[in-house]
Homo-oligomer: A and B are copies of this chain.
Amino acid sequence: MNDRPLILVTNDDGIHAPGIRTLIEEVLPFGRVLVVAPDKPQSAMGHAITIHSFLRLNRIDLLDGVEAWSCSGTPVDCVKLAIYKLLNGAKPDLLVSGVNHGANISINVLYSGTMSAAVEGAMEGIPSIGFSLMDHSIEADFSPVCPVIRNVVANAIQHGIAPGTCLNVNVPRTGGVPLKGIRVCRQATANWEDEFETRLDPGRKEYYWLKGEFRSHDHGEDTDVWAVDNGYVSIVPTQFDMTAHHAIAALNTWDHAVG
Given A43-B52, A46-B48, A256-B182, A247:B162 Cβ within 8 A: yes
- Residue in chain B with minimal CB distance to A232: B256
Measured between beta carbons, the chain B residues less than 8 angstroms from A258 are 147-148, 151, 179, 181-182, 233
Chain A residues touching B, majority SS: mixed
Measured between beta carbons, the chain B residues less than 8 angstroms from A119 are 110, 242
- Residue in chain B with minimal CB distance to A191: B123
Given A110-B119, A184-B251, A233-B258, A54:B209 Cβ within 8 A: yes
Q: Point out the residue from B46, B196, B252 that lies within 8 Å of A81, measured CB to CB.
A: B196
Interface size on A, residues (CB 8 A): 87
Contact A247 B237 (CB under 8 A): yes
A179 to B243, alpha carbons, bound, how many Å? 23
Contact B233 A238 (CB under 8 A): no
Contact A237 B243 (CB under 8 A): yes
Contact B242 A110 (CB under 8 A): yes
Contact A250 B181 (CB under 8 A): no
Q: Point out the residue from B44, B109, B150 that lies within 8 Å of A48, measured CB to CB.
A: B44
A187 to B237, alpha carbons, bound, how many Å? 19
A246 to B165, alpha carbons, bound, how many Å? 10
Q: Point out the residue from B55, B181, B236, B251 that lies within 8 Å of A237, measured CB to CB.
A: B251
Q: A21 on the interface (CB 8 Å rule)? A: no
Contact A239 B242 (CB under 8 A): yes
